[in-house]
Structure 1
Amino acid sequence: MRHSSDAASRSGRGLDGVNFFVAAVQTGFGSFVTVYLVKNQWPPEAIGFALTIATTSTLVSQIPAGAALDSTRDKRWPVMLGIVGVGLAALLLCVTAARPAVYLALAMQGLASSLIGPGIAAISLALVGQAGMSERVGRNARFASIGNGLAAAAMGVAGSSLPVLTVFLISATLAIPALLSLSLISGDYQRPTDAPGEAETRISWEGAKSVFLNKQLSIFAACVLLFFAASAAMGPGLAGQVTRHWPDYATLIVAAIILVPQVIVAAISPWIGRRAETSGRRPLMLVGWALIPLQGLVYAMLLPSPLAWVFGSLLNAFSGAIFGVMMTVVAADLTRKTGGFNLTLGALGVAVAVGASLSTFFTGVSATAIGVRGAAIGLALVGMCGLMLLWSAMPETRPAQAKLPTPDNTPTGR
């Protein structure tokens, strides 16, 4: 028993490290890629196309990756493969800014990411079980936010005093401690699933069919798609504006844009996980979705003022923290006893990728055609559509709590 407890504790710490370092590795992509491409004289439509390649590669690989994870007993191997893939993509960006190489690197990063996120979620579920999932996801988000924030600060300082490609060298280097942390997770981390309502860890045909015919999942996937269609382009778009208006300080400002929200996410994510168990998922989701159209309006009214990124970053922090916990928790709610947890995360990942692809592509086109303010208003309208769909169609998914014995319902033993 002592050995089992020590292994579980070591696995938990290893999972904390994986979340921390994987988030740090991934920090080099996204907004820093936009800064890198702008400084290499890429036009807005080309940058939008490059970012769309990353999300499209994630799109086509999400469901196959989820199904493969559900069919794999040891989830550590797919996560390891994903970390190696992201590290190699970062190294490729260090070498050249030529379009074919950048497109290949972003495609590799998208494909690898489709293994990492669901794999971490699956390991988390195996470690703590269904009852502890909300709090564990909140803890995952806390360590990921700390890793993201500290890496953003380091990359911002490095990018302001050294060539921007230094950012990607840091990303590639951080893949090494991510792999070392993964090795701390014990090979027998699987938690027994003998408790009532626990999810199975291997998928069956019936389980897969129940996932794709689940009406609640379809509604939630549509809400997720609209969430990212409205929000995905806001960060890179803001980074592009910052680079054009303050080129000498672009990496530092982008680092601050990333760092400030991560501090907030790290602080509140565990609370969100606990609150989801006591108050339910729906109230928190409504708050998170409502912040997206407000963020778009802030950018439309305040850009290019620095106040835009101050208020926009704060709104992004709260909405991102809520979404980061809720997507995994709702997926676990909808897949109890089906073995389709990772397949469901893959389906939701498709919704994320489709929404993000549409967001970056059409925002790049609309910003060129009608200006940044018009594009921001369009994103706000899309966000409002997502909020209305969530409010009108998405029910509460928290499982009913077991009723505790009382003097009136305690069994008499007769």
Structure 2
Amino acid sequence: MSLYLGEEKQPSQQSLRALDYLNFFLANVQAGVGPFLATYLMASHHWNPADIGVAMSVMGIATLLAQTPCGALVDFVKEKRRLIVIAATAMGLSCTAITLFPNSFINIAQGINGVAAAIFPPAIAAITLGMVGQKWLAVRTGRNMVFNHAGKVAAAALTGIAGHFWGHEWFFYLVAISGGAGIVATLLIRKDDIDYLQARAVAPIKTPDKVIASSIRALLTDRHILVFAAIVTLFHFANAAMLPLAGQLVTQSDKTFASLGMAACVIAAQMVMIPVAALSGKSANSWGRKRLFLIGLTALTIRGLLYTLSDNPFFIVFVQFFDGIGQGIFGVVSVLVVADLTQGTGRYNLVLGGIGTAKSIGAALSNLVAGYIVHAWGFNTGFLVLSSIAASGFVVYYWFLPETKSFSDCPSPS
């Protein structure tokens, strides 16, 4: 039975299931090796926190530069599946190359991974909107994130076990393997199930030979879009460095627990993200986007404060439950806010790419600044600074951005 009853044109069940699998397998590809890179560099090559922060920032900076152009590219290209195939292939090859040239190639590989990572979010969001439409976007985005987080749980477990027993190089091999599976899932989505015009949120009046889209200048001067971009920057400035720092804290206290400790941190967060993402998708229309996002920012603030209380590995893993709340909400609600703000503009993926740029700015600053703060003043100071940034994001959202659900005609599913 179809998951999307009532639509004039329903996507096939094959395509819907393939979209599930795509989100599952790309979960281990989108962030490259992510926080496991910090563990790899510290445990295998004895890098210090400042140098690790620089290496991790390279991917963030590359994504920052590529995200908005990639969003525009996703709007322009009809064959969006091909973009995912190219990006997954590039990331798989670069991660494999890191194991062959561990010191000289890391920054180059991180740059390649950053550009590839800029493709995935707008491409998946566009395929989703093109398949199910605005009406079912909240529910389907929640489902996407459920499979994404489930994939991260499976990937973290496999990565932790493989890294512990077979070596840290397996962090990178598993990214390549997951990328290959993601390519297969992408090709199983039927091209005809994706409405090109719907996928870029054009106005309801469609002409066969022309796409009517808002000017880029109008979007760049939209106050609500700019405020939301600032909020996203603050969220990821606070969030991005927390897990890598937690991993370094675990590694510092017990190096034999490095791979399994980082895996436990990731799994704990992802296990919470699964139900939180599902709940966010189902309640975003009834509760509103703003209330959910403020809960996420509150969880992020509390998480940073809790890290300062103990360096016990089991306590650090417990604190990761708050990561699950914050990121579980962000992954769903941020996409919906962009859809609200761009409905009818024909620039959905461009703005989503722009918001991705804001996210990348925050993440790059987070890893870079936090790395140097920890190196100079210690872990507790770093976590306190990140927590205060999350609190400032709460203040900005509460006072300067209204509820955006009212901008959309999207009804709550019955």
Note whether the superposition's TM-score is higher than 0.5.
yes
C-alpha spacing 1:314/1:403, structure 2 compared with 1 (3 Å): closer
Secondary structure at the aligned position of 1:314 is classed as helix
**Residue in structure 2 matched with residue 97 of structure 1 by the alignment:** 102
Q: What is the CA deviation profile of residues 363-386 of structure 1, one whole-angstrom value per residue up to 9, with x for unaligned ones?
A: 111111111111111111111111
Percent identity of equivalent pairs: 31
Are residues 1:283 and 2:284 paired? no
**Residue in structure 2 matched with residue 362 of structure 1 by the alignment:** 369
**Residue in structure 1 matched with residue 5 of structure 2 by the alignment:** none
C-alpha spacing 1:401/1:71, structure 2 compared with 1 (3 Å): closer
**Preserved CA contact (<8 Å) 2:30 2:120:** no
TM-score by length of 2: 0.91
Q: What is the CA deviation profile of residues 102-144 of structure 1, one whole-angstrom value per residue up to 9, with x for unaligned ones?
A: 0011111110010011100000000000011011110000001
Q: Partner amino acid for 1:96?
A: F
Are residues 1:157 and 2:161 paired? yes
Deviation at 1:203, TM superposition (A): 6.5
What pairs up with 1:301-380 in 2 under 5 angstroms?
301-302=309-310, 304-380=311-387
Q: CA RMSD in A?
A: 2.4
What pairs up with 1:200-215 in 2 under 5 angstroms?
206-215=214-223
Distance 2:370 2:317 in 1: 21
Q: What is the CA deviation profile of residues 181-238 of structure 1, one whole-angstrom value per residue up to 9, with x for unaligned ones?
A: 0011111122475999759899656342332121111001100000011111000111
Are residues 1:252 and 2:260 paired? yes
Q: What is the CA deviation profile of residues 310-363 of structure 1, one whole-angstrom value per residue up to 9, with x for unaligned ones?
A: 332010000000000011111111111111111111111111111011111111
**Residue in structure 2 matched with residue 412 of structure 1 by the alignment:** none
Deviation at 1:84, TM superposition (A): 1.0
Deviation at 1:400, TM superposition (A): 6.2
C-alpha spacing 1:316/1:199, structure 2 compared with 1 (3 Å): farther
**Preserved CA contact (<8 Å) 2:213 2:346:** no
Distance 2:203 2:314 in 1: 48
**Preserved CA contact (<8 Å) 2:88 2:182:** yes
**Preserved CA contact (<8 Å) 1:203 1:338:** no
**Residue in structure 2 matched with residue 106 of structure 1 by the alignment:** 110
Select 1:57's aligned residue among 62, 68, 74: 62
**Residue in structure 2 matched with residue 411 of structure 1 by the alignment:** none
**Residue in structure 2 matched with residue 242 of structure 1 by the alignment:** 250
**Residue in structure 2 matched with residue 409 of structure 1 by the alignment:** none
What pairs up with 1:3-402 in 2 under 5 angstroms?
8-26=12-30, 29-39=33-43, 40-98=45-103, 100-191=104-195, 206-302=214-310, 304-399=311-406
Distance 1:224 1:400 in 2: 19
**Preserved CA contact (<8 Å) 1:226 1:383:** yes
Secondary structure at the aligned position of 2:301 is classed as helix
- Runs of 5+ in structure 1 lacking a partner? 405-414
C-alpha spacing 1:375/1:5, structure 2 compared with 1 (3 Å): same
Deviation at 1:74, TM superposition (A): 1.8
**Preserved CA contact (<8 Å) 1:210 1:338:** no
C-alpha spacing 1:193/1:82, structure 2 compared with 1 (3 Å): closer
C-alpha spacing 1:402/1:291, structure 2 compared with 1 (3 Å): closer
C-alpha spacing 1:356/1:293, structure 2 compared with 1 (3 Å): same
**Preserved CA contact (<8 Å) 1:199 1:335:** no
Distance 1:208 1:244 in 2: 48
Q: Partner amino acid for 2:318?
A: F
Deviation at 1:402, TM superposition (A): 6.7
Q: Partner amino acid for 2:306?
A: V
Distance 1:310 1:45 in 2: 23
C-alpha spacing 1:198/1:269, structure 2 compared with 1 (3 Å): farther
**Preserved CA contact (<8 Å) 2:268 2:318:** no
Q: Partner amino acid for 1:319?
A: G
Distance 2:354 2:386 in 1: 23
Distance 2:52 2:306 in 1: 23
C-alpha spacing 1:210/1:369, structure 2 compared with 1 (3 Å): same
Distance 1:50 1:34 in 2: 9
**Preserved CA contact (<8 Å) 1:200 1:337:** no
**Preserved CA contact (<8 Å) 1:146 1:263:** yes
Distance 1:351 1:127 in 2: 27
> More displaced, 69-78 or 24-33?
24-33
**Preserved CA contact (<8 Å) 1:221 1:351:** yes
> More displaced, 199-208 or 348-357?
199-208
